[in-house]
Structure 1
Amino acid sequence: MKRLNARPLLVVSMMGIAWLPLPTYGAESVEPALESGGHGEILVTARRRQEAAQDVPLAISVLDSRAIEGTGSFNVARITQLQPSLQFYSTNPRNSAANIRGLGAPFGLTNDGIEQGVGVYIDQVYNSRIAAATFDFLDVEQVEVLRGPQGTLYGKNTTAGAINITTRAPSFDFEGRAEVTVGNLEFVQAKASVSGPLVEDKLAVRLAASKGSRRGTIYNVVTDRWVNEQDNLGLRGALLWRATDSLDLTLSADYNRQDPECCAQIYVRTGATQRPLSRQFAGLAAAFGYAPPSTNAFDRLTDLDSALDAYQEIGGASLRAEWDFGPGTLTSVSAWRFWNWGPSNDRDFTGLPITTVSANPSKQDQYSQEFRYAVTGDRLDYVVGLFAYHQRQHTTGAQEQGPAASRWLLNPTSANANNPAVLEGLRSENDILLKTTSLAAFGQLSWRVTDRIKVQPGLRVNYDKKSGSYEAVVRTGNGELLVCNPPPTSSVTRDQCATLPPQSYSPKFSDWNISGDLTVSYEISDDVLGYATYAKSFKSGGINLAGLPLDASNNPILSAQTVKPEDVNHFEIGLKTQFWDSRATFNLAGFWTEISDYQATVTNGQLGVLRGYLANADKVRVRGIEADFSVRPNERLSLYASSAFTDHEYVQFVDAPCPPELAGGTTAQPGQTPSAPGTPGGISPANCDISGQWLPGISKWAFSYGIEYRLPVELLGNDGEAYAAFDGNYRSKFSSNPSRSAYTDIAGYSVANFRFGFRKDDRWDASFWVRNAFDEKYYEILATQSGSTGLVVGQPADPRTYGLTIRTQF
């Protein structure tokens, strides 16, 4: 079999198939390997052994290096435009989440005490920080997106899926690659890699580097600078030692750095809340004589008056040993990774001095060890493994209020609401520590019952332990220590305690769980595979490390310091087909996932507290159908289409946070009827029953599609091929708030991308590209300002961008 080295192809998704052009797609599509004159197969390692993607009874999408490079998909966020079932949301690298089929991480600001439900693996190493997915891909050979629970094959339990990234291995043949891109917005990016032998047939090395920068897309009228820029550096090296004919050792190291002036969220609109009119955004702004520089977010203007920074470093080293031993291969992966985060934000989202400091710098180290033994036989294939993981993270945060905070944040009935001195200089300094240990034994068996029927059971035993500490020390503007327990009698101190309450607690969690899955597959014919899967999975319980709500005595409510594990029941059926002499692929998958004790973000009741905390929703459900189609009718034309229909809801969540239109008023007492949404000075429910409502971040319909046409030509005496390509995607409306609000729905949108170029074999390629060609105006994410002022802020997506890319290899 030969690894497919294709152009546009695509994924699996159903219910309305759109036509799209895409590069190589795995278990969801296969493109003929015309270079070899035959029909190639896309090879994947999804089940920890190399096999043809179409033979894997699993919903999986694959992009090879040509697909990634050709579509400009240089990080996970860009891949979402090619994968309808993959979602990625980010207000900055730390506050990022990758979801598959809408599941994986709760929507909102990151809480470090819980885990992602989507695992990101780079060269078989689990990355606990989703921030790793914000970096530019460097020397990547292939990206596999696995949908559904994957805990019986992967080191860290992943209840929603996995993103498996494989970089190019060191080569015993000398080779090199180089790429330069220039574009509008002062975009410049350069990548290069080189590989070759140090000792013939024994020792090989590979080195790669990338550097990219781009001007920001938002103009700050206060600092006279463009913000939300890009400034990325990546370095990677690998050394392969062929110790014996049966033992390979690969030592890898990488370093990535981002240092952009980022990440601004800007004025989008206002919506009526239940706070008194004088304390909603319009009234407050008028009292200060303030107006945002524009009320049209697509003017891309802001006046943020606090420093913006999104500095981060991610890196580490790993040693992978692969030993052909007995009937199988024993693999050991030892890894250390680090993450340093140095942010600065303007969390009041305005040019007023409300919150003048908001920063939570963090340092994290993680260590992991995985052992796997994989055997492929005539009737039985199996993988068994052990996994150990330890993480330590230390965060030292600060939040400080400015002279506008009293009027903006305090309850309007307070006598201090118009006294700037009450909150000015009030500063909370937080010291947060997290330690996580995870141990697991896992395995999966594939038994060929007959020539066409396979039964594939899997089992995982998992132990998780988390411990942490949270301490917030608060000082007033005079430098005095703020004491809130016992409850103060002074109205000034009460208002300070209600805004930035000091607190200290030390949460702990530990638990065992057993999960498993069972897949039965049937080869209906040589080119048609049907399968059915049931999986019982768990996402580890967590601890709250962003502050807790307080009781009447200003003590943390300790019952909220931990959250239960998610309990996942997953059902899936699928059909994988190839026809027309393997030139066309059509795959279907239907799934039904129910989660009990879903880990959701809820809002802290204190007005000045920016971060929410975590709680368990009783039950959520996500179900849908996906379809992928790709075809290469001849040597010149490739087409792909992928679609996903996803039905999603909170089945039961009776004590959820209320949306902004039902917040900000006087809390309803027993027997009181809450006011209608948006009633100024009204009565707000203490919590809301959002059972039956949408989950955040999920579109009911999503499509990706593409086409590429190639024509042999001669250019400057060189025989090659000219090509023209289009790829596009569409998402229907989705909610951008944990509790759906009329103010934070993001309207559906479609994005179109074009590229035109000339390539000569695989030696060099030059292309002109346009992304978001029709300058579609849409938001990546929307959020609300704390304090129920009704201000809605957001991040406009990139405008039209264009440029030229030249790449060569030798």
Structure 2
Amino acid sequence: MRGLRSPAFLGGVSVLALLSAIDAHAAVPAADAGETVTVTARRRAEPLQKTPVAVTVITAKQAATTNTFDLQGILAAVPSADFRTNSSSKDRTVFVRGIGTISTSPGVEPSVSTVIDGVVMARSGQATQDLIDLQQVEVLRGPQGTLFGKNATAGAVNITTAAPTSAFHAYTDASYFSGNEYRLAAGVSGTLVENRLVANLGVLVGGFDGNVDNTTLGRQMNGYAHQGFRSKILWTPNSETRVTLGLDFLHENDPVPNGIFVSSGQIAYPTGVFTNNVALARALASEGIVPSRNNDTVANNLDSRSRDQEGGVSVTAERKLGGGATLTSITAYRRWQNTQDQDYDQLASAFAGLPQIADHGALDLSQESQELRFQSGKGGWIDYTGGLFYLHTDDDESYDRAYGAVTGQTANGHAVFNTSTNNAAAFAEGNVNFTPNFRAILGARVIYQDVGYDFSRRSSSAVAVTGIRPGFASSGFTDDIGYVDRIGLQYDVSPNAHAYFTYSRGYQGPAYNVFFNMQQSDTAALKPETNNSFEIGLKTQALHRRITANFAAFIEDFSNYQANFTDQIAGGLVTRLINAGSVATKGVESDLSFRVDRHLTLGANIAYTYAAIDDFACPSGAPTSCNVNGERLPFAPRWKAHLSADYTRPLAQRYQISGGSTYDWQSSTQFSLAQTPGTVQGAYGIWNLYVALANLDARWRITGILRNVLDTHYSAYRALGNLGGTVSWLGRDYGRYGGFTLHKDF
């Protein structure tokens, strides 16, 4: 399998799929007319209420009314999900039900799969960017490996962007918010060749100065500058065939500080003893920095930032077959380039015991994927989706770290490393319809995966200095065959009530901890992560579908959990990826909405998640305090809720006024697997408001938005400082801000 070169494989399968698509016949039945919310959680369009999967849907309209256009902002409204931000997109990741993979290593998969228009992203950082022409985001909770593939042990985020329309449509969006944040977007869709070719194009330019002051460089940080486009071209050579060419590109330049000091000391686990770093406290005082939970100032002499260029091309060919069946081929190529500069020491200059350390990293990832999927028609005794999947990735990275002490001692480390992976799978999932109202759910996926790496580091110092190990070289290769499955029952209690029970097995393949400070103990491959999940759900509607009440309860047990654990090199903080042992998550979720009348709709999404460490596998060389059995997992608040109210009313005959409010609350959150008390964010809530006026004739709408009405300060992420103390990262809504958006349709 390792010798199978992906371009030839992809080209051959793609040609076969396209030929098959142009040679078949017939039609696909339409979705139920009475449903308004449609999802593709099982790789086919079906009503949300009849889908036996716990799903939260966020639409483009919902995202726009809260000024959120990336996963960090969108997932704040999903109680079962969380997001780990950081200075570079390489370090950002998604959590579902308390499970996620934190690692900068290119040799590991994320636990939560991210899929955009049917294309699986190989690494989390590829999907954390601005979302252009968004249609909706579906957050699928629990293992989704049967249909969503290689990295879905905890769940999947299924992102759909707007499809082209045959009727001409164009729009412009302009927004401006405090902090000099602006966003300009425009799009056009229509017919290029009658009955044959339609296309759309969306473009974006946006920026934000930031909400963190850097006193040393005299500028603001924690902002962004984004430019990009997304386009789809749909060709319909006949009534049974659809071929969509997708193109997208995004450039991001995000000046994000490498941590903001909330304390010059640290609190030890499990003793709870606070130790102040006197040298660090003096250094911060000399730079005018006062560490506190409300601190939004840094003094960095390095312009920390993350720069990304992400884009790709995909060809999706769909052919209707006899009996309502459909054959789908998705061929895709993507490339992600990331460059990061970080002020590792988090200070403006060197002090006694506190050296200056500057980091520079570069990443170049390419991925090629092919999925061939067959969907049977519905209405028979058995209906199913099955197919083949292949993904190949090549990742080339380099990392430089420069060390300089106040004594004049200097050192430099330079590492070059690359990984190559192959993932091939055969999968199927379907229903056995015992009666029109009672069915069994059966699904399985067999996966072959391999990963190989080469690593080389050189250092100007023969011994370890802060944050830099001596020279080292290594290479490795591992492969494995695994499987996932789903077994369940679904019963339609009534036309508006649907109950289900499922058992699912998740699988995340073997991994390597490939990173700048890699050492001999990192050369052994990590074992595959597996889990067993049980879920019971009920989806109901009442009062002529004015009330929707969906519930899910779950228990998930993970073995060989792949997680990051903190370590030190000569006083400098680093992390290493380990098999952390067994962990478990269990809880109850509810998604509720009530359309009080034709003007007012109320919503409440609430999740209780008990995610904890069952049996931690303490790595060699770790402190004795790594006995964290029974403690909670990071990024897993016990309670999280999203409450909403939306009101719309016509004014005269031409105008419409609407307004709404959301309140997002969560209980305290631990951000570190090491359970250090200083890395806990206490409970907090964020209240948002919007009001909009629309002219229905002129097709324009102006919306005023106020975010974080109560000016609540919180940390989006907390960690131990690299040289001491405790630091945090701030979200866009760290403090109150407001602005407006103007939308115009043509």
Please give the TM-score of this superposition, normalised by the length of structure 2: 0.90
Contact 1:713 1:722 in 2 (8 A): yes
Corresponding position: 1:782 with 2:718: yes
| 1:276-326 C-alpha deviation (Å, 9 max, x unpaired) | x9x962135548984552223534211011221211110010010001123
Partner of 1:655: 618
Q: Which residue pairs with 1:557 in the alignment?
A: 521
Matches within 5 A, 1:371-770: 371-378=372-379, 379-404=381-406, 420-421=407-408, 424-476=409-461, 482=462, 494=463, 496=465, 499-546=468-515, 556-557=520-521, 561-607=524-570, 610-655=573-618, 685-686=623-624, 688-714=626-652, 719-761=654-696, 763-770=699-706
- After the TM superposition, which residues 143-158 of structure 1 pair with which residues of structure 2 at under 5 Å, given as runs? 143-158=137-152
Match of 1:771 among 679, 700, 707: 707
How many Å apart are 1:355 and its aligned residue? 3.5
Write 1 or 2 for the structure with the bigger share of strand.
2
1:143 to partner: Cα distance: 1.4
Partner of 1:25: none
Distance 1:122 1:498 in 2: 37
Q: Percent identity?
A: 28
Runs of 4+ in 1 over 6 A off after TM superposition: none
2:245 partner letter: L
State the Cα distance separating 1:222 from its structure 2 match: 0.6
Post-superposition shift, 1:687? 5.5
Quote how far apart the aligned CAs of 1:46 are.
Answer: 1.3
Aligned equivalents of 1:188, 1:112: Cα separation in 2: 34
* Displacement after TM superposition at 1:239 (Å): 1.0
Task: Quote the offset at 1:154 in angstroms.
Answer: 2.1
DSSP-derived class of the 2:346 partner: coil
Q: TM-score, normalised by structure 1?
A: 0.83
Q: What is the alpha-carbon distance in structure 2 between the residues aligned to residue 557 and residue 329 of structure 1? A: 49
SS at match of 1:267: strand
The answer on whether the counterparts of 1:724 and 1:757 sit within 8 Å (CA) in structure 2 is yes
Aligned mates of 1:116, 1:274 — CA distance in 2:
29
- Count of residues in Structure 1 that have an aligned counterpart in Structure 2: 701
Q: How far apart are the structure 2 equivalents of 1:497 and 1:799? A: 35
Contact kept? 1:596, 1:620, Cα under 8 Å: yes
Matches within 5 A, 1:33-432: 40-91=35-86, 92-106=88-102, 109-272=103-266, 281-286=277-282, 290-327=286-323, 328-353=325-350, 354-378=355-379, 379-404=381-406, 420-421=407-408, 424-432=409-417
In the alignment, the residues of structure 1 paired with residue 663 and residue 105 of structure 2 have an alpha-carbon distance, to the nearest angstrom, of 34
Unpaired runs of at least 5, structure 2:
1-32
What letter corresponds to residue 574 of structure 1 in structure 2? Answer: G
Return the alpha-carbon distance in structure 2 between the equivalents of residues 731 and 773 of structure 1.
16
State whether residues 175 and 194 of structure 1, in contact with CA within 8 Å, keep that contact through their aligned partners in structure 2.
yes
RMSD: 2.3
- TM-superposed CA distance for 1:236, in Å, is 1.1
Question: Is the partner of 1:634 in helix, strand or coil?
Answer: coil
Matched letter for residue 44 of structure 1: V
Q: 1:491-515: per-residue Cα shift (whole Å, max 9, x none)?
A: xxx4549953221111222100122
Change (3 A) 1:227 1:579: same
Q: Is the 8 A contact 1:292 1:351 kept in 2?
A: no
Partner Cα separation in structure 1 for residue 284 and residue 684 of structure 2: 36
- Decide whether the 8 Å contact of 1:267 with 1:292 is kept in 2: no
Secondary structure of 1:102's counterpart equals coil
Deviation at 1:522, TM superposition (A): 0.8
Give the letter for the 2:451 counterpart. Answer: K
Highest relative contact order (Cα 8 Å, sep 6+), 1 or 2?
A: 1
Aligned to 1:152, what secondary structure does the other structure show?
helix
| 1:704-751, Cα deviation, whole Å (9 max, x unpaired) | 01101122214xxx6221112101100100111121111111111100
- Structure 1 position 654, deviation (Å): 4.6
Bigger mean CA deviation after superposition, 602-611 or 61-70 = 602-611
Quick one: which of 799, 804, 809 aligns to 2:735? 799
Match of 2:17 in 1: none
Q: Give a deviation string over 1:648-673, Cα, whole Å, max 9, x none.
A: 1110015169xxxxxxxxx9xxxxxx
Kindly tell me: are residues 296 and 272 of structure 1, through their superposed partners in 2, closer, same or farther at Cα, counting changes over 3 Å?
closer
| 2:21 aligned partner | none
1:662-717 Cα deviation digits (max 9, x unpaired): xxxxx9xxxxxxxxxxxxxxxx9456211111111110000001101122214xxx
Provide Cα deviations, 1:48-67, integer angstroms capped at 9, x if missing partner: 11111101011011122222
CA distance in 2, matches of 1:449, 1:355: 69
* CA distance in structure 1 between the partners assigned to 2:332 and 2:347 by the alignment: 43
Superimposed CA distance per residue, residues 497-549 of structure 1 (whole angstroms, 9 cap, x where no aligned partner): 99532211112221001221112011111111110010112111100102567
Cα displacement (A) at 1:136: 2.0
Structure 1 residue 764: deviation in Å?
A: 2.0
Kindly state the Cα deviation for residue 273 of structure 1 after the two structures are TM-superposed: 6.5
The whole-number CA distance in structure 2 between the counterparts of 1:55 and 1:807 is 34
2: CA distance between counterparts of 1:299 and 1:289?
A: 13
The 1:711/1:504 distance shift into structure 2, 3 A limit, reads same
Aligned to 1:416: none
Q: Tell me which amino acid in the other structure corresponds to 1:452.
A: N
Larger radius of gyration: 1
Alpha-carbon distance between aligned partners in 2 of 1:85 and 1:232, rounded to the nearest angstrom: 29
Q: Distance in 2 between matches of 1:289 and 1:138?
A: 43
CA contact (8 A) 2:719 2:726 kept: yes
Instruction: Give the AA of the match of 1:88.
Output: F
| Contact 2:500–2:538, Cα closer than 8 Å, also in 1 | yes
- SS of 1:153's equivalent in the other structure is helix
Aligned AA for 2:492? E
Moved more, 541-550 or 314-323: 541-550
For 1:54, what is the secondary structure of its paired residue? helix
Change (3 A) 1:86 1:761: farther
Deviation at residue 39 of structure 1 after TM alignment: 5.7
Q: In structure 2, what is the equivalent of residue 16 of structure 1?
A: none
Summarize deviations over 1:27-57 as a string: whole Å, max 9, x none: xxxxxxxxxxx96421111111111110101
Q: Determine if contact 2:267/2:678 at 8 Å carries over to the other structure.
A: no
For residues 287 and 191 of structure 1, the distance between their equivalents in structure 2, rounded to whole angstroms, comes to: 44
